[in-house]
């Protein structure tokens, strides 16, 4: 089975489109060495596939940030990605995690989707966290922002070192309203029969054939998905310049060196006294 792929598909005679993303290695790399509790890893897996699906659905070139924040045990969880399906993510905790229910994890909060296209204006959509699953919150986003019927199904396996996450997506096409809604209801009922085991362990073609064999789903060429952090030593230097030479040298004298750690990939960037001076020379 090929993993870390995003598949788009349509139907010959139905006014609905769909996507199926399955990630394993990319997801494992994102949470490697983090010691997240299993419910947090599951949440990040769902957020990972959500961001991948949104990137393909909203059809833009640029960057996307999907984050949820609240006053619960998980303060913040976010995935950053782009139209080439390069993804990275992180979660921040502020309490003990005892549930995988979204509202119990996040408390009172919001989901914020920010799109920054290469060309054009930045867009941000915000929806309150009012449902106990991330899927329902994302569906609410589409109803609110695009007035399109949308359904999502998630499955995750958070076995350490072999993590998997899958997202199945259906959305009505705004053609003939009555026909589109009937088509969507038909496919939604079929999709409700899918199991987590099928989503996690069968290849995309097999999953779609089992679900929609009478409706002839047509797959496009899949797009690879990968974990990729955009941090660099040069970007770190740019940030240090804003702090100022005197303050940086004072930190070096006190601590021996300056260490800047990337929250996403846990890479450490180290600077001693001579390196700090070189930045400003």
Same domain flag for 173 and 243: no
Please report, for the domain that includes residue 193, its CATH number.
Answer: 3.55.30.10
The total domain count for the chain is: 2
- Domain final position from 227, 254, 270: 227
Measured in residues, the chain has a length of 281
Tens digit of pLDDT at every position of the chain (281 positions) = 568 999 999 998 999 999 999 999 999 999 998 899 999 999 999 999 999 999 988 888 899 999 999 999 999 999 999 999 999 999 999 999 999 999 999 999 999 999 999 988 999 999 999 999 999 999 999 988 878 899 999 999 999 889 999 999 999 998 888 999 999 999 999 999 999 999 999 999 999 999 999 999 999 999 999 999 988 999 999 989 988 888 999 999 999 999 999 888 889 999 999 999 998 88
- Residue 44's alpha-carbon distances to 50, 51, 168, 191, 276, in angstroms, are 10, 10, 16, 23, 36
The strand order across the sheet containing 74-82 reads 123-128, 109-117, 62-70, 74-82, 86-93, 226-227
Same domain flag for 72 and 202: yes
The backbone torsions φ and ψ at residue 154, rounded to the nearest 5 degrees and listed phi first, read -120, 155
- Domain final position from 227, 246, 267: 227
Plot region of 62 (φ>0 → left; ψ -120 to 50 → alpha; else → beta): left
pLDDT at 1: 55
Same domain flag for 88 and 222: yes
pLDDT at 175: 87
Same domain flag for 276 and 190: no
- Residue 3's alpha-carbon distances to 83, 200, 222, 231, 261, in angstroms, are 18, 10, 11, 25, 30
Same domain flag for 215 and 258: no
Same domain flag for 151 and 239: no
CA–CA dist 98, 100 (Å, integer)? 7
Same domain flag for 75 and 198: yes
pTM: 0.90
Please report, for the domain that includes residue 273, its CATH number.
Answer: 3.90.1280.10
Same domain flag for 254 and 124: no
Same domain flag for 160 and 36: yes
The range of the structural domain enclosing residue 258 comes to: 233-280
Same domain flag for 275 and 212: no
Same domain flag for 270 and 153: no
Same domain flag for 38 and 53: yes
- Domain final position from 208, 227, 246: 227
Plot region of 46 (φ>0 → left; ψ -120 to 50 → alpha; else → beta): alpha
């Amino acid at each position: 089975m090929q993993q870390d792929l995003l598949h788009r598909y349509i139907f010959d005679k139905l006014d609905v489109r769909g996507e199926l993303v399955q990630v394993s290695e990319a997801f494992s790399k994102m949470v490697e060495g983090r010691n997240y509790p299993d419910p947090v890893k599951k949440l990040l897996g769902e957020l990972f596939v959500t961001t991948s699906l949104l990137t393909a659905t909203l059809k833009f070139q640029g960057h996307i940030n999907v984050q949820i924040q609240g006053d619960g045990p998980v303060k913040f969880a976010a995935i950053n990605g782009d139209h080439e399906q390069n993804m990275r993510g992180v979660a921040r905790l502020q309490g003990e995690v005892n549930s995988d229910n979204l509202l119990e994890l996040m408390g009172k909060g919001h989901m914020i989707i920010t799109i920054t296209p290469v060309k054009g204006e930045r867009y941000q959509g915000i929806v309150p966290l009012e449902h106990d699953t991330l899927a329902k919150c994302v569906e609410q986003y589409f109803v609110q922002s695009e007035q399109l019927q949308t359904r999502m199904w998630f499955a995750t396996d958070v076995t350490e070192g072999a993590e998997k996450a899958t997202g199945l997506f259906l959305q009505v096409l705004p053609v003939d309203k009555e026909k589109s809604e009937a088509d969507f209801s038909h496919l939604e009922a079929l999709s409700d029969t899918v199991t987590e085991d099928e989503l996690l362990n069968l290849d995309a073609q097999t999953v779609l054939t089992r679900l929609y064999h009478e409706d002839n789903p047509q797959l496009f060429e899949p797009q690879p998905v990968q974990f990729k952090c955009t941090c660099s030593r040069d970007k770190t230097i740019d940030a240090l310049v804003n702090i100022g030479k005197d303050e940086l040298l004072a930190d070096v004298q006190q601590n021996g060196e300056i260490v800047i750690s990337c929250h996403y990939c846990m890479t450490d960037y180290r600077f001693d006294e001579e390196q700090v001076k070189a930045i400003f020379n």
